[in-house]
Structure 1
């Protein structure tokens, strides 16, 4: 379909495919933040920033 198929790393040797509706919910919550000296797109949860992709690689 050309739609992204995002996976998250759960633990050693276990990745999980995120449901499309949940993926779009996460994208809506996303922000750009500095991470390791670069701008990243990701989400905050529990006071921790989880980077998804470098901000300059995100399609607008």
Structure 2
């Protein structure tokens, strides 16, 4: 029987913040000043972002 997305993610999202030493508002992942270039093209320049525990982020580009 197939499991729902909620069931698949429940194990990931059930970790208490205290058990892993992370506050509820602290970023789980933080990127600052990211730069990506291709020959003749600057795709990103100074890109920054934060991802909190339990968030799902999608980056789409061409």
Q: TM-score, normalised by structure 2?
A: 0.22
Larger C-alpha radius of gyration, 1 or 2?
2
Q: Point out which structure has higher relative CO (alpha carbons under 8 A, 6+ apart).
A: 2
Q: TM-score, normalised by structure 1?
A: 0.22
The structure with the greater share of residues assigned to strand is 1
